[in-house]
Structure 1
Amino acid sequence: MKPIIFCDFDGTITETDNIVSLMTHFVPEQSEKIAKAMMAQEISFKEGITAMFELLSTNQKEDIIQYLLDTAVIREGFSDFVRYAQEHNIPFYIVSGGVDFFIQPMLERFGPFSGIYCNSADFTGEQISVVYPNRCDEQCANVTTQSCGCCKPTVMRKMAQDDHFKIVIGDSISDFEAAKQADLVLAREQLIDRCKDLHIPYQPFNTFYDCLETVKKLVEA
């Protein structure tokens, strides 16, 4: 068995969703309308994220980074979980619908990782513009619309080999398509319900110590 890990960031590695947190702090009224449209699936995740960040000035970059560094809480056990993967040469990819300019500073002390796949920020204009480098491949249902933003299933197809045992760690509907490709899902919150509905193998977790015990059993069996 050759495990490979694909892990979400917001609400998974961190206790809360950082995009929701910063939007609530900096532009609460405007962003709430967009968030409701996303939850009602009236607009795609990509459309919603684009619209939210366009509410923010590029001059706010350092304030946003500092706010999240001060307020975001890394889920308990993450450091030990990463260290175990490093010591056992388990490929560990962060795959997130978040944005690089705040994800990378928050993860810097835990790396190195096999790769960090997320969206990018463009600060050349007056408002923050989100760039989507991880596009849907031809096997994605959204290849025509490119509405995934950061297409997690595409990243998995690119990185995982046929003999890999694919572990997906996540918490929300944005992780659901990736979960369909997994051999095992470590799930929280909304993702648990989705896995139950489609009978996808999963283990619930609260901390990364729970994840660590599950992975240890697979590796050391």
Structure 2
Amino acid sequence: MTSQKPLIICDFDGTITMNDNIINIMKTFAPPEWTALKDGVLSKTMSIQEGVGRMFGLLPSSLKEEITRFVIEDAKIRGGFREFVAFVNEHELPFYVVSGGMDFFVYPLLEGIVEKDHIYCNRASFENEFIHIDWPHSCKGTCTNQCGCCKPTVINELCEPDQYIIMIGDSVTDVEAAKLSDLCFARDYLLNECKEHHLNHMPYHDFHEIKKAIEDVTEVKKWLQNKSAGESLPK
């Protein structure tokens, strides 16, 4: 029984976490100018890279410890995520977190749950007066959307030929990745976009639902059956 090897890509802010950490940071620490930048990103009149970069550029670097402490205390991991990660690890399903968030809060929040080399995110620099964002995973190839952390670029780097791509997300930063997926688990903004673009998708509230649904995906079932049978699987 042949099968496509699954590849699971998961957003962080608003997906793994219950709330959008960047929005909460801005609401708490940024001057009012951040709202227009956020609206520009959501309306797609401004790129994610420009909008998010300028939002963080409103924040003094001297607030690093205070902002970090706020995010760690404020963020809540969505129900079932730890169990979901245990499931994908047990069955050796390729799983990566690809986040438009920043290293100073993404890494500590996922510590002990997801290995660092399976996390792609942006880097925040606090060396100058105001926070500066570096974009180590910016757009390459055919993507010219200035995504910041470009999820299509990361997917193209990770994806092997003929893989079955599963995307999990919630926001404007996930739309282009959803278009590349064979199946997208979506909520909030992304759910509406999946409907509008007629993408193959399923809504979710927590990772218990996602785990149960993924176990029933035909390609995943074939993959797990082949592994259980000890058949030779494509690398």
Q: Classify the TM-score, shorter chain.
A: over 0.9
Q: Which moved more, 1:33-42 or 1:61-70?
A: 33-42
Which residues of 2 match residues 49-198 of structure 1 at below 5 A? 49-112=52-115, 115-140=118-143, 142=144, 147-198=146-197
SS of 1:168 mapped into structure 2: strand
1:220 maps to 221
Unaligned runs of 5+ in 2: 223-235
Asked if 1:3 corresponds to 2:2, the answer is no
Deviation track 1:183-217 (CA, whole Å, cap 9, x = no partner) reads 11011112112111222111110000011001112
Select between 22-31 and 122-131 the one with higher mean Cα deviation: 22-31
* TM superposition shift of 1:172: 1.3
- Residue 203 of structure 1: SS of its match in structure 2? strand
Seq. identity, %:
41
Count matched residues: 217
What's the offset of the Cα at 1:41? 2.6
Gapped regions of structure 1 (runs ≥ 5): none
Give the structure with higher Rg (CA): 2
* Residues 88/113 of structure 1: CA separation in 2 closer, same or farther (3 Å cut): farther
Q: Contact (CA 8 Å) 1:91, 1:114: kept in 2 or not?
A: no
Which amino acid in the other structure matches residue 221 of structure 2? E
SS at match of 2:46: coil
Q: Is the 8 A contact 1:93 1:113 kept in 2?
A: no
* Aligned alpha-carbon RMSD (Å): 1.4
